[in-house]
């Protein structure tokens, strides 16, 4: 995890003097506020921290003033135009959900130093300090600590700091003790300048050692050192950080932004663009939309339950939430159901352990409620409603008829970039409502069954009520902007995924056991080989030890450097593998190790004891492009190109009497690119069913022999992902100049693709988003960033998202169509792996189902080129490939 520590005062002064003449209609200066906010955002985007603290100096004297009354005495009072803005800056930081620290008696530097020293114990492996103060360089002596230079937008490690300052981080206090610091009225040694100080420290190392040899230092320098000895050591005492500042806690994770508060701040300050952007992104009202005191009735008496049944049978829109014993729907026992209708929330207790003052409702009564809800004229609202549908169906309470509205998916469609689509965050962000925390209701080691019914009712009823309130906010925008995408693609897919998750997929336990033995043995062999090639034993799983071995002891030229040193990631090892055997063996070692831990060992533990199968979860709200993801376990990420990966896939088997049938879209992203770009050469190649990679190879290399075809394939797909000449040249083993020549040749062959890329970037710059053929949007707030790297990343997304997102939409359409027609074939949809679908089909139905499957998938979308699908069958997952 990464922690960002911001020197707030440094930011304030930098912003105040960088921007002048900015004020709101009332005449309040706003230049420092505006600049501070922009610097903070830029810094946050560059670091992408898990935790962030903004630290300010407290007013009044500190312990340094007690030992040296002249400390900072020469400083003039801050301009009034600046002072008036500081409370606004503090308010802005807190409204953004960030931790603000200002501790009386201590300076910001001391607080930053204290947090830095405690960061590792709090779980942070990297600490980034954003400041312009040189004396904070002393913290670079600690592992995993970096400075962030906001002026040049670069990260400084110990080596970079030495290059900049001419002294090491360990020497910076001694250096400043010699030269002094006029801004803080630190005297130093009068007459000793930077070059003299650097030379002295280079020769003697420390201030103490300089004075231990001061008699050897001749001339004016030696004389001044002796004359101002006391000033030197006083200066060092003033510069040393106090790293034991009392802190309340070490939870520095960002909280939820207070959108109404931010809206008000931006409005009052006249930051119209920021306000409109905020309002546009979240569509949040400037005030709370629901009362914090939610009325929840417990339906455990005949009278109350009868009233609930009547309302449930007649309402047009109802929000539902289930309370259970597990976060995994296929394992969860149903404890209670909460319902929200209009302004009233209800709770139906079903299986609570404690019934002192209330009772659990009989199954027959609960079934009556389900019957009242199971009607086609009802819109059933839920937050992650797939979970509730699975739980209810497992308890013989299926709800196949209502139309669905999932507020989590609605939030995702409205802004896929949102930090979280969870109910707690959405409640604060849109409704200014703080939800009851689950941990405050269910003690550690307990389940919801152990919660008393009145407490459960308050918690569960709130979930349903807030979900309904979010529906009331989201529905108008969904209907206006995403009606077809939401109701025709995403909501039907919820029911498809319910069936897939409940069904699961079988694995061969015995085969997993055999794989464990063979992979463990293989891992040991690779480990011994690595030690032999290295000439010593070391911790192979330590990036630091590995980097030291490869790039220092073995003298292998490093490929790339990160903030923490030389990289040893998989791309580096793969780049080195053709020349260095140890890199090749390390690549194999990592791959086998990951397969062993992530799949072979884990899969056995994930087999459901009741079904004997593995039940992954499919997520509709994770990938920004609209693609489905898989988790617990992730079955979309098992490698197919390696022998070991194929061995893992062999362990996935169909039920007795069934075989697997897999269908895979062929080059769907290139076909979508041809459709979107309208490039005549691409369209012609696909229309004539030519090999697009061979065609490209002929065009840019003059040959389509296998090696050139392989490189052309990398170019074809790389262009769609916005690949740079440098990256392409590295992938293909050529110079950047040759890589650029390939890209230029490609665009000569496919000018329509170049026009498409230019158009997509221009569209995103104008509108702020990219979108698919079906209207799915991805907002790109960085498309006009002044930071080149950030802007170019947004440009790549502008080009690729419409292609990858359209591909995701098409396979979802296919899944919805196929699911409705599975029954005649007795087929079961098991997995979706990006462009591939996997089914379990009776042997006798494999052939007719394969023909049906190919027709359905190929006709899922009508493009300028024909979609093609490859269908195959087999007795395990690997065989279908």
Q: What is the pLDDT of residues 418-458, one digit of tens each?
A: 778 999 988 887 887 889 989 899 988 899 999 999 999 99
CA torsion sign, 148 to 149 to 155 to 161? negative
Closest CA to 241 of 169, 143, 154: 169
Q: How far apart are CA 382 and CA 329, in angstroms?
A: 15
Question: CA of 319: how far to CAs of 404, 405, 463, 569, in Å?
Answer: 10, 9, 9, 47
Task: Say what the pLDDT of residue 289 is.
Answer: 41
Q: Which of 19-23, 215-219, 752-756 has the highest mean pLDDT?
A: 752-756
Q: How far apart are CA 2 and CA 119, in angstroms?
A: 9
Place of tokens 């397969």: 595
Mean pLDDT of 317-329: 96
Instruction: Provide the token pair at 205.
Output: 């190392």
Question: CA of 608: how far to CAs of 330, 406, 506, 793, in Å?
Answer: 9, 27, 10, 41
Task: Say what the pLDDT of residue 177 is.
Answer: 87
Task: Say what the pLDDT of residue 20 is.
Answer: 67
Task: Say what the pLDDT of residue 293 is.
Answer: 67
CA 226 to chain CA centroid, nearest Å: 57
Mean pLDDT of 279-304: 65
Task: Say what the pLDDT of residue 620 is.
Answer: 96
Predicted confidence band at 787 (pLDDT cuts at 50, 70, 90)? low
Task: Please list the residues that pair with 836 across neighbouring strands.
Answer: 664, 833
Task: Say what the pLDDT of residue 16 is.
Answer: 84
Q: How far apart are CA 420 and CA 574, in angstroms?
A: 35
What is the bridge-based pairing of β-strands 344-349 and 334-341? antiparallel
Cα atoms found within 13 Å of the Cα of residue 175, Cβ hemisphere only: 21
- Write the CATH number of the domain with boundaries 2-239: 3.40.50.1010
Q: How far apart are CA 662 and CA 831, in angstroms?
A: 9
Q: 458: burial class by Cβ within 10 Å (0-12, 13-18, 19+)?
A: middle
Closest CA to 174 of 226, 241, 239, 242: 239
Closest CA to 435 of 404, 412, 467: 467
Mean pLDDT of 352-376: 94
What is the architecture, at CATH level 2, of domain 288-481?
2-Layer Sandwich (3.30)
- Given a contact cutoff of 8 angstroms between Cβ atoms, the answer to whether 313 and 372 are in contact is yes
Q: 48: burial class by Cβ within 10 Å (0-12, 13-18, 19+)?
A: exposed
- Given a contact cutoff of 8 angstroms between Cβ atoms, the answer to whether 530 and 110 are in contact is no
Q: How far apart are CA 394 and CA 332, in angstroms?
A: 9
- Does the pLDDT of residue 472 top 90, yes or no? yes
Q: What is the dihedral of CA 487, 488, 492, 493, to 10 degrees?
A: -110
Question: CA of 539: how far to CAs of 229, 490, 878, in Å?
Answer: 48, 47, 34
Task: Say what the pLDDT of residue 527 is.
Answer: 94
- Does the pLDDT of residue 286 top 60, yes or no? no
Give the CATH class of 670-801: mainly alpha
- Given a contact cutoff of 8 angstroms between Cβ atoms, the answer to whether 121 and 250 are in contact is yes
Question: CA of 87: how far to CAs of 52, 54, 78, 247, in Å?
Answer: 19, 14, 14, 22
Task: Say what the pLDDT of residue 76 is.
Answer: 61
Closest CA to 90 of 128, 57, 48: 57
Q: Which of 10-19, 260-269, 460-469 has the highest mean pLDDT?
A: 460-469
Predicted confidence band at 287 (pLDDT cuts at 50, 70, 90)? very low
Question: CA of 368: how far to CAs of 296, 365, 371, 397, 464, in Å?
Answer: 20, 5, 5, 10, 19
Question: CA of 164: how far to CAs of 134, 151, 241, 739, 747, in Å?
Answer: 10, 14, 21, 34, 43
Mean pLDDT of 799-808: 95
Domain boundaries, the chain: 2-239, 288-481, 506-612, 670-801
Question: CA of 648: how far to CAs of 598, 662, 834, in Å?
Answer: 11, 17, 19
On average, the pLDDT of the chain sits at: 89
Query: For the segment 117-133, what is each residue's pLDDT rounded down to a tens digit?
Result: 888 878 888 999 998 88
Min mean pLDDT across 22-31, 442-451, 483-492, 673-682 is at 22-31
Place of tokens 């979108």: 771
Task: Say what the pLDDT of residue 67 is.
Answer: 66
- Given a contact cutoff of 8 angstroms between Cβ atoms, the answer to whether 322 and 387 are in contact is yes
Q: How far apart are CA 273 and CA 258, in angstroms?
A: 18
- Does the pLDDT of residue 810 top 70, yes or no? yes
Which one is the CATH code of 506-612: 3.40.50.1010, 1.10.645.10, 2.30.110.10, 1.20.1060.10? 1.20.1060.10
Q: How far apart are CA 12 and CA 321, in angstroms?
A: 47
Percent of the chain with pLDDT over 90: 51
Task: Say what the pLDDT of residue 358 is.
Answer: 93
CA torsion sign, 55 to 61 to 67 to 68? positive
**Better-predicted residue by pLDDT, 733 or 496:** 496
Phi-psi region of 357 (alpha: psi -120 to 50; beta: other; left: phi over 0): alpha
Q: Which of 66-80, 208-222, 700-714, 863-877 has the highest mean pLDDT?
A: 863-877
**83 CB-near residues (< 8 Å, 6+ apart):** none
Mean pLDDT of 671-699: 92
- Does the pLDDT of residue 288 top 80, yes or no? no
Mean pLDDT of 146-168: 86
| Exposure string for 80-109, b = 16+ CB within 10 A, e = fewer | eebeebbebbebbbbbbbbbbbbbeebbbb
Query: For the segment 231-273, what is each residue's pLDDT rounded down to a tens digit?
Result: 888 888 888 888 888 887 767 888 888 888 888 888 888 787 7
Mean pLDDT of 865-869: 96
Mean pLDDT of 540-553: 90
Q: Which stretches of 482-547 are DSSP H helices?
A: 483-484, 491-503, 509-534, 543-547
**Better-predicted residue by pLDDT, 562 or 353:** 353
SS3 of residue 133 by DSSP: coil
Task: Say what the pLDDT of residue 285 is.
Answer: 40
Task: Say what the pLDDT of residue 242 is.
Answer: 83
Closest CA to 793 of 805, 780, 802, 803: 780
**280 CB-near residues (< 8 Å, 6+ apart):** none
CA torsion sign, 797 to 802 to 803 to 806? positive
């Amino acid at each position: 995890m990464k922690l960002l520590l911001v020197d707030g005062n440094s930011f304030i002064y930098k912003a105040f003097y960088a921007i002048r003449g900015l004020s709101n209609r009332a005449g309040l200066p706003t230049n420092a506020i505006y600049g501070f906010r922009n610097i903070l955002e830029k810094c946050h985007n560059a670091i992408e921290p898990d935790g962030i603290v903004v630290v300010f100096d407290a007013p009044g004297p500190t312990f340094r003033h007690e030992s040296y009354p002249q400390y900072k005495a020469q400083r003039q009072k801050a301009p009034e135009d600046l002072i008036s803005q500081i409370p606004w800056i503090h308010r802005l930081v807190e409204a953004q959900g960030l931790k603000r620290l200002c501790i009386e008696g201590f300076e910001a530097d001391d607080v930053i130093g204290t947090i830095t020293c405690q960061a590792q114990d709090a779980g942070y492996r990297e600490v980034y300090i954003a400041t312009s103060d040189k004396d904070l360089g002393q913290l670079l002596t600690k592992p995993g600590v970096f400075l962030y230079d906001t002026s040049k937008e670069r990260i400084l490690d110990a080596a970079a700091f030495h290059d900049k300052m001419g002294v090491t981080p360990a020497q910076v206090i001694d250096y400043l003790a010699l030269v002094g610091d006029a801004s803080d009225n630190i005297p130093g040694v009068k007459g000793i300048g930077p070059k003299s100080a650097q030379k002295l420290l280079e020769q003697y190392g420390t201030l103490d050692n300089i004075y231990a040899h001061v008699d050897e230092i001749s001339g004016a320098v030696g004389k001044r050192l002796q004359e101002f000895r006391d000033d030197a050591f006083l200066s060092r005492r003033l510069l040393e950080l106090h790293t034991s500042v009392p802190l309340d806690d070490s939870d520095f994770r960002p909280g939820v932004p207070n959108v109404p508060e931010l809206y008000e701040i931006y409005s009052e300050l006249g930051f119209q663009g920021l306000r409109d952007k905020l309002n546009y992104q979240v569509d949040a009202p400037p005030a709370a939309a629901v009362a914090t005191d939610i009325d929840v009735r417990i339906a455990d008496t005949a009278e109350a339950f009868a009233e609930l049944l009547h309302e449930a049978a007649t309402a047009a829109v109802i929000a539902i939430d289930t309370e259970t014993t597990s976060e995994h729907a296929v394992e969860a026992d149903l404890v209670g159901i909460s319902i929200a209708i209009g302004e009233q929330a209800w709770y139906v207790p079903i299986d609570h352990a404690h019934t002192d003052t209330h009772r659990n409702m009989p199954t027959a009564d609960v079934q009556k409620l389900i019957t009242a809800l199971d009607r086609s004229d009802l819109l059933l609202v839920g937050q992650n409603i797939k979970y509730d549908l699975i739980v209810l169906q497992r308890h013989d309470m299926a709800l196949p008829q209502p139309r669905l509205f999932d507020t989590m998916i609605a939030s995702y469609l409205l802004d896929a970039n949102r930090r979280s689509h969870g109910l707690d965050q959405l409640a604060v962000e849109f409704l200014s409502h703080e939800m009851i925390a689950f941990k405050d209701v269910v003690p550690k080691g307990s389940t919801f069954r152990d919660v008393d019914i009145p407490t459960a009712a308050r918690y569960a009823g709130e979930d349903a009520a807030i979900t309904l309130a979010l529906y009331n906010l989201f529905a108008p925008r969904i209907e206006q902007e995403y009606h077809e995408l939401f109701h025709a693609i995403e909501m039907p897919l919820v029911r498809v995924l319910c069936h897939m998750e409940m069904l699961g997929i079988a694995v061969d336990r015995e085969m997993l056991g055999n794989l464990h033995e063979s992979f463990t043995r293989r891992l040991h062999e690779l480990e011994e080989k690595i030690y032999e090639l290295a000439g010593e034993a070391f911790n192979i799983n330590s990036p630091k030890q590995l980097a030291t071995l490869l790039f220092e002891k073995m003298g292998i030229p490093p490929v790339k450097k990160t903030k923490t040193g030389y990289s040893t990631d998989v791309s580096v090892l793969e780049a080195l593998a053709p020349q260095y055997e140890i890199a090749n063996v390390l690549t194999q070692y990592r791959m086998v190790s990951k397969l062993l831990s992530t799949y072979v060992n884990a899969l056995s533990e994930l087999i459901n004891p009741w079904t004997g199968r593995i039940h992954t979860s499919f997520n509709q709200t994770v990938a920004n492009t609209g693609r489905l993801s898989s988790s617990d376990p992730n079955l979309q990420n098992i490698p197919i190109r390696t022998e070991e990966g194929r061995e893992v896939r062999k362990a996935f088997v169909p039920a007795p009497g069934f075989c697997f049938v897999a269908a895979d879209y062929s080059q769907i992203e290139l076909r979508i690119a041809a459709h979107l770009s309208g490039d005549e050469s691409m369209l012609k190649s696909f229309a004539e069913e030519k090999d697009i990679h061979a065609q490209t190879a002929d065009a840019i290399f003059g040959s389509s022999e296998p090696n050139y075809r392989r490189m052309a394939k990398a170019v074809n797909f790389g262009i769609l992902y916005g690949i740079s000449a440098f990256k392409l040249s590295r992938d293909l083993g050529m110079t950047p100049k040759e890589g650029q020549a390939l890209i230029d040749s490609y665009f000569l062959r496919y000018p329509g693709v170049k026009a498409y890329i230019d158009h997509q970037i221009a569209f995103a710059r104008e509108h702020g988003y990219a979108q698919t053929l079906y209207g799915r949007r991805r907002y790109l707030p960085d498309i006009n960033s002044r930071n080149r790297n950030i802007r170019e990343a947004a440009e790549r997304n502008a080009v690729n998202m419409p292609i990858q997102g359209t591909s995701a939409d098409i396979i979802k359409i296919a899944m919805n169509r196929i699911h409705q027609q599975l029954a005649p074939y007795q087929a079961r949809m098991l997995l979706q792996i990006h462009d591939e679908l996997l089914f379990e089909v009776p042997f006798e139905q494999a052939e007719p189902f394969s023909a049906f499957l190919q027709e359905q998938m190929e006709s899922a979308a009508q493009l300028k080129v024909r979609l093609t699908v490859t269908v195959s069958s087999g007795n395990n997952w690997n065989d279908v490939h």
